[in-house]
Amino acid sequence: MYAVTRPIDAGSLCTIPAVKKFALREDLPMKPAPFEYLSPTTLLQVLESKAEHGDEAKPLAGGQSLIPAMNFRVSQPAVLIDLNKIEELRYIRSQDGELRIGAMTIQADVASSPLVAELQPLISETMPNIAHPQIRNRGTFGGSLAHADPASELPVVATALNARFKAQSTRGERWIDAEEFFITMFTTALEPDEVLTEIAFPAFSKNMGWSFLEVTRRAGDYAMAGVAALVSLDAESICREARLVYLNVGDKAMDARQAAAVLTGEKITPQQIEAAAQIAAEQEIDPFGSVHATPEYQRHLAKVLTRRALQTALSRAQSQLTGS
């Protein structure tokens, strides 16, 4: 029998009243509802199984999010399709000017990849913040993204970097942009017969600065709030693009477009950073709150993290510009 080891109030799963009710009952054993287990050995078999069972089937990648949800019976798939024998979905490579990561690539492999660090350093900076090493040694890159937990780090990074998601089915394949992929809490744009197989990120551009910051009670806990920041400068140090995307302060990764717009078109000043932090925290996030952080405190954290992340991203962009 599987056990849930994180605090009952941590993460978006435990904002669901039914989950809290069951989690508080210490006498209640956590067992998933009955299900059929499939262990395909090829991607084609996976797609055929998904075509046959549709919404009744759930792909099992690392299982670090799905299994606890099944134990709480929040998720009750009739069929579980184990993807762990599909080696063709485990890779990290450069292709067509993009960083491509297979959906079944282990998170720890992404964290230690020199290619990831070279092509998208924001990903490398973010990976150590994901849960614990034991989780990263089992959890998959695509599994975390397909789970679409707004308290998770990877959807935030994917949104900030304008990632693309390859969805495959027996009908063919299609690419979905990050802004369209994440619909709401635990919900993506994947159709019932589709499986996420690959994630593509644009390669790191010159004069781009980045930063990822979050606040947790303890190392490995879900963040009370977090932010990914990107700043791109031209040769005159004018900000040509900025992104601010937040985690665990809404029903999905919260993309603060208005706050980012404050920074573009001129040299970034401390006053602009303060204005961006204010707009993001007060107008563009929608925190739920928890026993550890009220919505007001989450807004405060978002504001502080925005200042710090933008200062770091700007400094890195300036270093890229000067070659220092």
Selection from 290, 12, 291 nearest residue 144 by Cα:
12
Is the pLDDT at 24 greater than 60? The verdict is no
Is it the case that residue 126 has pLDDT exceeding 60? yes
**Residue 273 · residue 320 · CB < 8 Å:** no
Q: Residue 75: pLDDT band by 50, 70, 90 thresholds?
A: very high
- Dihedrals φ, ψ of 304, to 5°? -65, -45
The number of residues in the chain equals 324
3-state secondary structure of 159: helix
Contact (Cβ atoms closer than 8 angstroms) between residue 62 and residue 210? no
Q: What is the mean pLDDT of the chain?
A: 93
Inform me whether the pLDDT recorded for 1 exceeds 60: no
Neighbours of 240 (CB within 10 A): 15
Q: What is the mean pLDDT of residues 171-177?
A: 99
Q: Which residue type occupies 305?
A: L
Angstrom distance (rounded) from CA 135 to CA 133: 5
Q: Tell me the C-alpha distance between 281 and 293, whole Å.
A: 14
Where residue 66 falls among pLDDT bands split at 50, 70, 90? very high
Mean pLDDT, rounded, for 311-324: 93
Matching residue, tokens 């919404």:
55
Q: Write the single-letter amino acid at 188.
A: T
User: What single letter denotes the amino acid at residue 247?
Assistant: L
Instruction: Look at residue 111 and tell me whether its pLDDT is greater than 80.
Output: yes
Q: Is the dihedral of CA 174, 231, 249, 134 positive or negative?
A: positive
Structure tokens given for 284 = 């563009």
What's the pLDDT tens digit per position in 265-307?
999 999 999 999 999 999 999 999 998 999 999 999 999 999 9
- Characterise 295 by phi-psi region: left (phi > 0), alpha (psi -120 to 50), beta (else): alpha
Contacts of 80 (CB under 8 A, 6+ apart): 35, 36, 37, 38, 57, 58, 60
Residues 53-81: what's their mean pLDDT? 95
The Cα diameter of the chain in Å comes to 64
Q: Give the 3-state secondary structure of residue 66.
A: helix
Residue recorded with tokens 């707004």: 150
Tell me the three state secondary structure of residue 72.
coil
Domains and CATH numbers, the chain: 12-82 (3.30.43.10), 90-202 (3.30.465.10), 208-322 (3.30.390.50)
Give how far Cα 277 sits from Cα of 111, 232, 263, 297, Å.
29, 18, 11, 14
Q: Among candidates 31, 39, 135, which has minimal Cα distance to 80?
A: 39
pLDDT > 60? residue 5: no
- In the numeric block, which tokens belong to residue 67? 């299994």
CA 205 to the chain's CA centroid: 21
Position 57 pLDDT exceeds 60: yes
Percent of the chain with pLDDT over 70: 91
- Residues 104 and 142 sit within 8 Å (Cβ to Cβ): yes
Q: What is the DSSP code (8-state) at residue 55?
A: G
Are 309 and 129 in contact, with CB atoms under 8 Å apart? no
Structure confidence at residue 28 as a pLDDT band (50, 70, 90): low
Distance CA 313, CA 225 (A): 18
- Position 9 confidence tier, pLDDT thresholds 50, 70, 90: very low
